[in-house]
């Protein structure tokens, strides 16, 4: 049986509250779990002491038994000093997507056309007599 240290969602609609639980990987997200080892309240400010509450001794035990944390829980454990998490880098994330590229290209073409129109001498039509 493979174990995960993961978040189980609770709370009301649009008011999330998570429990940090040890669960079998096959059980549903909010379903049966083995043990609750903490909680996470994302509505609290980042520096609030009750935003993430963990039982570090139980977390150490479950990590030694072979439970694997999810990415979010690994961040919490890294902050607590229980494990080291590699920092990830996604350079593709900052690149503009297709529609943004189209808009940039259209703006560039419009700017070039405006420069050409301004640079061309103003030729007036002959006045009718």
pLDDT (0 to 100) of residue 86: 83
Domains of the chain: residue spans and CATH: 3-80 (3.30.1320.10)
Residue whose pair of structure tokens reads 């150490």 in the numeric block = 60
pLDDT tens per residue, range 62-115: 999 999 999 999 999 999 999 898 878 888 888 889 999 999 999 999 999 998
With beta carbons less than 8 A apart as the criterion, state whether 39 and 17 touch.
yes
| Phi and psi torsions of 109, nearest 5° | -65, -40
pLDDT (0 to 100) of residue 107: 94
Give the C-alpha separation, 86 to 84, whole Å. Answer: 7
Helix (H) or strand (E) segment spanning residue 101 = helix 98-119
pLDDT tens per residue, range 21-50: 999 999 999 999 999 999 999 999 999 999
Give the C-alpha separation, 120 to 78, whole Å. Answer: 63
pTM of structure: 0.68
Please provide the DSSP assignment of 43-89 as one string: TS-TT-TTSEEE-HHHHHHHHHHT-EE-HHHHHHHHHHTSS--PPP-
């Amino acid at each position: 049986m493979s174990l995960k240290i993961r978040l189980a969602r609770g709370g009301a609609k649009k008011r999330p509250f998570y429990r940090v639980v040890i669960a079998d990987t096959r059980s549903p997200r909010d379903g049966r779990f083995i043990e609750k080892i903490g909680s996470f309240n994302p509505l609290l400010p980042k520096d609030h002491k009750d935003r993430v509450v963990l039982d570090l001794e139980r977390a150490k035990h479950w990590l030694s038994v072979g439970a694997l944390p999810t990415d979010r829980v690994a961040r919490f454990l890294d902050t607590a000093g229980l494990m080291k998490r590699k920092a990830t880098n996604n350079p593709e994330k900052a690149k503009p997507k297709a529609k943004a590229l189209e808009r940039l290209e259209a703006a560039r073409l419009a700017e070039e056309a405006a420069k050409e129109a301004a640079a061309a001498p103003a030729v007036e039509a002959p006045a009718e007599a």
